[in-house]
Amino acid sequence: MIDRWIVDQLHWSPKEFLRMKVKIIGVGKIKEKYFKAGIAEYAKRLSRFCDFKIVEVADEQAPESLSQAEMDEVMAKEGQRILAKIKDREYVFALAIKGKERSSEEFAHEINQLTTYGHSDLTFVIGGSLGLSPEVLKRADTQISFGRFTMPHKLMRLVLTEQIYRAFTIIHGMPYHK
């Protein structure tokens, strides 16, 4: 009876005592209903495993005609806003096409390891239409790529939210992931 009690406590401990905070920082507001609905669905499912939130920072106008210097300035300004939302203790994943690819299982393992070694604040950063500034990439603890295709940043937010949810279902041995 006592053994069962201990097992129950262990079973609940990750949720009760080591509740992770997972944050996505994105540039610009998402207005499209179809993106919002998908993100809201996975955010709701994720709330079972962690405190999940999305922080939006203002985007800069980026017309087609910008010079390289002007584009760098746009990324730098958006980058400063992103960095202002990151605390020292946060472990930062920057989403970058040239970053390191993982499988869903590897990603789940990485999240699990980070929690085990005391990182309870995970932050994911998605760039705006021109990408992330060098300063943000420098602050990141790791860069994560979803392959060599360029995805719109709004779609990336939805795909990332689903993959974080998938990672937690893998960690918890749930049947969602096949």
Binding-site residues from annotation: 95, 127
- As measured in angstroms, the least distance from the Cβ of 133 to ligand SAM is 10
Site for ligand SAM in 45-84 (CB under 6 A): none
Stretch touching ligand SAM by CB under 6 A, among 10-18, 29-37, 102-110, 129-137: 129-137
Site membership for ligand SAM, residue 136 (CB under 6 A):
no
Beta-carbon contacts of residue 125 (< 8 Å; ≥ 6 apart): 24, 25, 82, 86, 92, 93, 94, 95, 132, 136, 140
Q: Which residues pair with 95 in a beta bridge?
A: 144
Site for ligand SAM in 85-114 (CB under 6 A): 95-97
Let me know: does 151 contact 51? Beta carbons within 8 Å. Answer: no
Residues contributing to the site for ligand SAM (CB under 6 A): 95-97, 126-127, 129-132, 145-147, 149-153, 156
